[in-house]
């Protein structure tokens, strides 16, 4: 495969970092790219396709990545970022997917000249159907923004905002959103079992219904509200169920998103 991406440095190869790496390899990521990940099991699927090291100290001398992707836990940032400060001189773009960590705080830890993009992807990136919102910090060039966009669209859809403060609600809605959908499937399965359906049938039905509804939403030009109304016959069973859900669910979701947004801001440190 023709190499169509420059060498990258990935710091952290957990669920999200691994999903992103898989997408980049499909785009022709050079084998000379480096992944820093202390847990060997996390990088087993990428053996021989990139260079894996266990710590930042083991990054090869002279390695000059075009981008450094920060995919560690936000709580690890105070320890990790200062170790990466020597790379700033090579003028890579630092792309952070750490929840809550803001550009100013990362720049202070890396050095004032660091060029940083703050981004928030979500786990459907694992099947190249993620959604990522990004915000470029001071000094990020047009070429670096284009490279970042290329990396993000390799795992799904990408959008940009100019106001970094919007990344916190993005984290709450999109970053955490798959968990809310999975909870829906989990609760539907449990409710089906409570109504007497066999457990295996309840699981298949809940999963397929949620997955199929998501696919229909993605394929339809109608908004979610209209699709909901399309399913809701007057005086029918769905209307009766929605009367229960609508009494509490919208307010609960608003409070949940607000709580997650607040937590994202707290993680800025």
The answer to the question of residue 171 being in a domain is no
The 10 Å Cβ neighbour count of residue 142 is 8
Letter string b/e over residues 56-78, b meaning 16 or more CB atoms within 10 A of that residue's CB: beebeeeeebbbbbbbbebeebe
User: pTM value?
Assistant: 0.90
Helical H segments across 38-176, by residue range: 77-84, 103-110, 142-153, 167-170
Residue 27 has pLDDT above 90, yes or no: no
Residues 80 and 157 in one domain: yes
Determine the average pLDDT of the residues in 161-182. 96
Candidates 81, 90, 73, 79; CA nearest to 16 is 73
pLDDT at position 126 is 87
Residues 82, 267: Cα–Cα separation, whole Å: 18
One-letter-per-residue 3-state SS of 121-136: CCHHHHHCCEEEEEEE
39 shares its domain with 130: yes
End-to-end CA distance of the chain: 42
Which percentage of the chain shows pLDDT scores above 90?
90
In a domain, 251, yes or no: yes
Question: What pLDDT score does 169 carry?
Answer: 96
Q: Could you tell me the two tokens for 177?
A: 């959103």
Regarding whether 137 and 18 lie in a shared domain, the answer is yes
The pair of structure tokens assigned to 171 is 């984290």
Please classify residue 209 by burial: count the beta carbons closer than 10 Å to its beta carbon, then call 0-12 exposed, 13-18 middle and 19+ buried. Answer: middle
Say if residue 196 is in the same domain as residue 126.
no
Is residue 170 domain-resident? Answer: no
What is the per-residue pLDDT for 153?
Answer: 94
For residue 95, the Cα-to-chain-centroid distance in whole angstroms is 12
Statement to judge: residues 27 and 153 lie in one domain: yes
Per-residue pLDDT at 1 exceeds 80: no
Q: Which of the listed residues 130, 164, 198 is the one where a domain comes to its end? A: 164
CATH of the domain at 224: 1.10.3730.10
- Within this chain, do residues 18 and 94 fall inside the same structural domain, yes or no? yes
94 lies in the same domain as 183:
no
The pLDDT assigned to 211 comes to 96
Q: What is the CATH number of the domain that holds 14?
A: 3.40.50.720
Claim to verify: residue 119 and residue 33 sit in the same structural domain: yes
- Structural domain total, the chain: 2
Q: Sort 122 into a burial class: Cβ within 10 Å, 0-12 / 13-18 / 19+.
A: buried
Split at pLDDT 50, 70, 90, the class of 269 is low
| 23 and 141, same domain (yes or no) | yes
Ranges 26-35, 92-101, 224-233: which has the least confidence: 26-35
Q: Give the residue numbers spanning the domain of 16.
A: 8-164
Do residues 115 and 78 both lie within one domain?
yes
Is 172 domain-assigned? no
What are 133-157's pLDDT values in tens digits? 999 999 999 999 999 999 999 999 9
DSSP bridge partners of 158: 132
Residue 199 sits in the same domain as residue 225: yes
Q: Are residues 16 and 147 in the same domain?
A: yes
């Amino acid at each position: 495969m023709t190499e169509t991406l420059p060498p990258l440095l990935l710091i952290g190869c957990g669920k999200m970092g691994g999903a992103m790496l898989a997408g980049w390899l499909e785009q022709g990521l050079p084998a000379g790219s480096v992944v820093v990940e202390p847990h060997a099991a996390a990088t087993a699927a990428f053996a021989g396709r990139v260079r894996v090291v266990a710590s930042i100290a083991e990054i090869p001398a002279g390695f000059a990545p075009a981008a450094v992707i920060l995919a560690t836990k936000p709580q690890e940032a105070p320890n990790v970022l200062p170790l990466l400060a020597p790379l700033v001189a090579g003028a890579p773009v630092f792309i952070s997917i750490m929840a809550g960590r803001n550009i100013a705080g990362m720049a202070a830890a890396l050095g004032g000249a660091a060029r940083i993009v703050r981004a928030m992807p979500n786990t459907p990136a694992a099947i190249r159907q993620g959604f990522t919102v990004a915000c470029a910090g001071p000094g990020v060039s047009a070429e670096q923004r284009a490279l970042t966009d290329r990396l993000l669209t390799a795992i799904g859809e990408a959008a940009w905002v100019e106001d970094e403060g919007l990344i916190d609600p993005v984290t709450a809605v999109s970053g955490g959103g798959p968990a809310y959908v999975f909870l829906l499937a989990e609760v539907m399965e449990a409710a089906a079992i409570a109504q007497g359906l066999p457990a295996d049938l309840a699981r298949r039905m809940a999963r397929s219904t949620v997955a199929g509804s998501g696919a229909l939403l993605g394929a339809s030009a109608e908004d979610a509200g209209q699709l909901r109304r399309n399913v809701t016959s007057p005086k029918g069973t769905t209307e009766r169920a929605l009367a229960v859900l609508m009494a509490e669910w919208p307010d609960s979701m608003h409070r949940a998103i607000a709580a997650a947004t607040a937590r994202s801001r707290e993680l800025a440190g």
